[in-house]
Amino acid sequence: MEYEAVRRAPKGKDNKKKVSEGRAVQPIDGTLDRLEANSIENRPEIIELHDLSLQMQSLLYTEIARYLKPFDQNKIVPYTLHDTEVSIMVDISSSMTKLSKMKQMGAMVLATGISSILSSFGIRIYHYAFADRESIWKLTDSNHHNPQEDLIRLVDSLREGNRPGSCPLDAAITSHNEWALRQNNQEIQVAPNHLTIIISDFISAQVLDDDRDWSAENIGRYILISLNTEFNQELLELKKVPKELYENGLIPKFTPGNNISSLCIDPKELCSGFASTDTSKIPKILQEIIKKIITKTDQKHPVKQKSTSLAICAPVQDKAMFWANLTQSHEIKTKLSENEERTKTDFFVQIKPTSNFALAALNIIEKTILLQEPKNIETDNKWLQRQATGDNRIPFVGISRDVATTALTHSFVPNRAAGKEPSPSSGQLWIPGLRRFIQSGFTYPNLFLKKSRRNQKAYSITFVIDNTQRIFSPLNISHSVTTIASLINSVTLIPDGDEIVVDVIAASDGKANLLIHNIQVRLLSDWMLISDILRTADKIAGTESGLGIGIASALQLTSRRSGVGFGRRIIAFTDSIVTSENEVSTLRQTLLDCDASQIDVLGVGLGISPIQLPLLLPIALYAPNPVDLGNSIAVALGVSGVGSCGSIIARQLFSVVDEERLQNLKTLLCGKPEICPLLAKNIKERELSLDFFEQFGNTDLLYMKGTAQDASDNPLEEPYHDGAFEGFQVLVVCLYLGANEKDKQNLFKQNIFDNQCGAVLKRKGFNYKFVCSYGEGLIEITHKENDRCKYTQLWLFSSEGYGELPKEAGDKDTNKIVPFLEAAADFWRNGGGLFLFCDNHPYNFEANYLLANHFNFSHGGRSGVSAVRLGCNYRGLKQIQVSPTEAATKGSFNPILKLDAPGPAKQRSTLRPGLIHFSEGNTISFAVDEKDQPLTTAEQLWPFTPFAWTSENVDPPRPFILFFDPKIPSDSEAMYCSETCKGAKTSHGPIVLHGGFTSAFSEFGQDQTGMGRLVVSISCWLTRFEERVYASKIKSAPLLTTSPALTKQYSTKTFTGWRPKPVGGRPRHSILVLDGSGSMGGDPYSKLIVASNQYISTQSKAGGIISVVSFSGSARIIYERQNRQLGPNEGYDGDGTNFNVALQTAIPVAQRNPPQYECRILFFTDGCGTDATAECNQLASMGVRIDVVGFGSLDQSSLSKLVRCGGKVSIGQTMAEVAKIFEQIAATDDENQTK
């Protein structure tokens, strides 16, 4: 089928077949199912998959350990994996799941083995499931990283599977694209390298198209693992499929190179538990992975010297032993290789002098971790608060005893003369003994002290656990726990060791944690204490080795202890994988310091392959079988007479799978989804192909991709196809038609709408009804046709709110605003879309009334009334450009191309299609609160999302187009399908707020490919056509083009919420800009204050407010929006005259003008100043009138340059004349009523 699809497919303009085109896809969230981490690790699926992948895990772990050398070519340049992220993409198409259980299981095993090991090394793994076109599920929760949760999701994805088709090239492109998106996110740290591993059978048109070269795609580095398919040869020959396409396994065409690797493998091999490494392809796959993820530490930037301190660590306690059921949960079987059989080496021991040790001999620039001097260090007393336990079966007792008797007893020789011990019969009277005798009721026998017969063993032993998560991984935990527990307990069995003291340090990620400090060795005979040590170490384990900082911390503790014959030793447990340059350098310096201080350091290898141990510690041992721990320590401590022996040979683990177990595994792993029902439902019900959105428009323009991606101007071609929205109807309720526009009234008439915006709507397929009153709107929106409302969206153009309707209104009853707004709110609650148009204040009444009194939102975990209103007045007239980022910037709109779908549909378009820029409009409103204070933050704008910001030069920028796209609850999804909508539960529809309603009238035609296109695109967006088309496809039903009918009976009541209409215009906000320069000193300035106070008094009585700015060579605001009288000499500075700075200071005061006030400037001066044309023009653009009053013999023509918006120039020869001019201006009311 796939081959036939490729063979028949036509080629496009690029001479390529679209059927095999690779596309970046927005992954679907596959993490909606909430999983409990504690229950997942005990799931039988996880246990079995870990067991099945044991061999793969051990091989991969060993190969990684072999590559990760701590230094190279006499330099500390360790190899690392932390510079790479890995994405594992698994095919869940039908051929990979329901049609082949072996492929289904093989993909699970392969993904489990790879992700388990890589994540244990701290590599960030992202899991995905993919199938047919635009069907990719992201299984990793970016905010909560847990590989086992990802595997559970992957298991259920493969269980559900059965998707019809596979697009592995889409998966490769999407994986690389997702990593690139993470790189652009400044809030998270992303590795600089990325590797994609695709697991598939590659039965896909994207593979079978021989003209499709994957090397030419932008997919980064990737490894293709093809699971072989048993083809029907007769069918292939009948269809004349070329043998070269499948005879060596299905692999896409690519140019061989370092970025691409491909391997084919039989899925049966992956499910067998064990495969011979001589014939298996598994090692080759793992080697390819390692080559692409391991790099040398980046040396471009010098590594800063780090500082840390030794931290006290409280215990993590539990009544159950840490190792309880360890062997049952992690049963490990080993197989000796032929080399091991020949050498019969049971353990590895190395004994080298520090002076000749390669690491210590490196000549380097010091980059050690600075360890702060520990003060007042002591063990947290909770460590010694024991809990009772009834389980005394300890599996390590025999090993501990063997270590003590074979090695430690002979190595820890008596080194301090015998002291005194309590005695009941003779010696010196012992005062503490006498106290105990009295306290015991005269029964304590040991009242004397006498000299002991034996010399004592006085030693300090500090155990350092290189505490990475790897040592507690399923591969290593059994060996790590046995080795650590046995060795710590063994020191308690040393005879005459009462004066031995012990410390335990766990170190990782550059931090050393002190668990136990300076306790008597006898306390460690309590196995519960050792269990708590291991449990705590597991809890605080990190990803990066702490070997260097751990031993350095041990050195500091040990160096405090001294005395005659006092022995000091450090025993370090490590898996030998160190990838930090600082850590290696710290280890090197610490070894030298220990050698100089005569402190012995012994390294003990942990896990299945501590291969780099010989390079890290001069004296080291590794006992693969902990039973040999005693002998190996005896050799390492020089008490067996044997020198260095053996070499480290990695252990290989495996599982045995017979036919019976294989059948049981198929039942367990290939059954129905059990853990992630939401994910399984999404996979099952997702539409086969979502390219049907192309029926609505050119998807390159809808999502600004392809040919439109790099457009620098608005494309001439329209994004939405003509006729695409046939059957959809729009109700337009316009409550203002230019009554206050004077000579511009004709720009706001219905015929302008019909001929421009309306004509384009009809061309797209929309029908609309244009009405001019509440009553007409109410009739239309409540009208039923076939028990449905024929409209899917309502456009509402707001009025001034004075209780007046346009003369064109067919119903003059303004009280019908009450039922109309109630019906509009119910229409929205039923899923209808609302396009709420406002303009500069006061043309915003109905929209703001709805927002304040009728809308209750529930979004983002919040519920309630939004604070958002549209208000104020900004004179824009600029172009709004697409923003380079999603951050708010002035004069821009959001560049985002896709929104999260509100319901089950594939994706959601934005308001942007086909736009690079659009005209801002003339007088526009923007988001404010009820007190007209601008709203700019996400918190303030809730639940709305800003789409476009004004060009006003303010920070932060002010949004004037906003949208709200509420989620569709699952029980409301049926309302978008014509078959299921009857009786379906409804949910809220989308809303768009627009601060400039002239965009749908005169400005529509002036900027039809910009603002006009935006208005039409919003209309298309409000239909939620994605949800309607998706519903019609999955139900094979006609496209739903209506909304639920309004069933409520609406009554008309007297409305009392109208705004009071201003009498004689708005009250005035006067900004007095007063010249306080040196030439005004003395009597002139005093009289200026008198004239100003008279102006203030007159305007205050008229309801006005006052702001005062004084200027000379500089300027300052005396007060803002008050009415107080000025002091006798207030504002006088006696400097020069600078008009620029005066008006620059007045501009922000004018910008903060409340919209209910007319803003004016009264500018007074007695001289000539600097050119202020730019400032005056800016004030004029805001509609601020500037009157100028001069004093003395000034040139009127020079002052006329400052006048704006109908202002006048007046000159008084005396201050008495100036006072009269002030009084006249204060008493005159000639506000321009034009919007």
Residue 237: predicted pLDDT? 55
- Pairing relationship of beta strands 892-893 and 879-882 according to DSSP bridges: parallel
Closest of 713, 698, 434, 377 to residue 553, by C-alpha: 377
Tell me what percent of the chain is helix, strand and coil, each rounded to the nearest 5: 35, 20, 45
Residues 6+ apart with CB under 8 A from 726: 765
Shared domain for 442 and 557, answered yes or no, is: no
Shared domain for 217 and 266, answered yes or no, is: yes
CB 749 within 8 A of CB 738: yes
Residue 1054 lies in a domain: no
**CA–CA gap between residue 957 and residue 962 (Å, rounded):** 13
**CA–CA gap between residue 1073 and residue 1162 (Å, rounded):** 6
Shared domain for 212 and 259, answered yes or no, is: yes
Number of domains the chain is built from: 5
Torsion of CA 756, 758, 764, 769, to 10 degrees: 180
Domain-ending residue, one of 260, 276, 296? 296
Could you tell me the CATH number of the domain that includes residue 167? 3.40.50.410
Residue 662 lies in a domain: no
Shared domain for 424 and 413, answered yes or no, is: no
Shared domain for 351 and 401, answered yes or no, is: yes
Domain-ending residue, one of 436, 451, 466? 451
Cis omega (within 30 of 0) on the bond before 943? yes
* pLDDT averaged over 10-residue windows placed end to end, the chain, 1235 residues: 45 64 89 79 85 88 88 75 88 85 92 91 92 90 86 94 84 93 81 91 84 85 86 50 58 81 86 72 83 66 61 87 64 42 67 89 69 68 65 81 88 64 68 71 70 67 95 90 95 84 93 91 89 94 93 90 69 93 90 91 95 94 91 88 76 82 89 91 75 68 83 92 90 88 75 94 96 97 96 96 92 96 98 95 93 96 96 84 94 93 85 94 90 92 97 92 97 93 95 93 86 95 90 72 95 90 76 94 94 91 88 93 88 91 95 86 92 93 93 87 91 94 82 39
Residue 563: predicted pLDDT? 52
CB 668 within 8 A of CB 44: yes
State CA 619 to chain mean position distance.
Answer: 46
> 262: which strand partners?
224
Residue 1218 lies in a domain: yes
Which CA distances in Å does 270 have to 102, 112, 138, 283? 9, 11, 24, 12
Residue 39 lies in a domain: no
Shared domain for 403 and 527, answered yes or no, is: yes
Residue 697 lies in a domain: no
- Pairing relationship of beta strands 1158-1165 and 1068-1075 according to DSSP bridges: parallel
DSSP letter (8 states) at residue 121: T
Shared domain for 331 and 209, answered yes or no, is: no
**CA–CA gap between residue 1149 and residue 1120 (Å, rounded):** 7
- Pairing relationship of beta strands 959-964 and 991-994 according to DSSP bridges: antiparallel
Cis omega (within 30 of 0) on the bond before 610? no
Shared domain for 551 and 411, answered yes or no, is: yes
Shared domain for 231 and 319, answered yes or no, is: no
Residue 669 lies in a domain: no
Domain-ending residue, one of 1044, 1079, 1107? 1044
Phi, psi values for residue 361, rounded to 5°: -85, -5
- pTM equals 0.55
Q: Which range of residues forms the domain containing residue 484?
A: 308-384+394-418+454-584+605-636
**CA–CA gap between residue 508 and residue 577 (Å, rounded):** 12
Residue 921 lies in a domain: yes
Radius of gyration of the chain (CA): 41
Shared domain for 244 and 343, answered yes or no, is: no
Shared domain for 413 and 434, answered yes or no, is: no
Shared domain for 1159 and 1213, answered yes or no, is: yes
Q: Summarize pLDDT for 219-262 with one digit per residue, the tens.
A: 888 899 999 876 545 544 554 555 555 555 678 888 877 688 88
Residue 664 lies in a domain: no
Residue 679: predicted pLDDT? 95
Closest of 1210, 1183, 1214 to residue 1199, by C-alpha: 1210
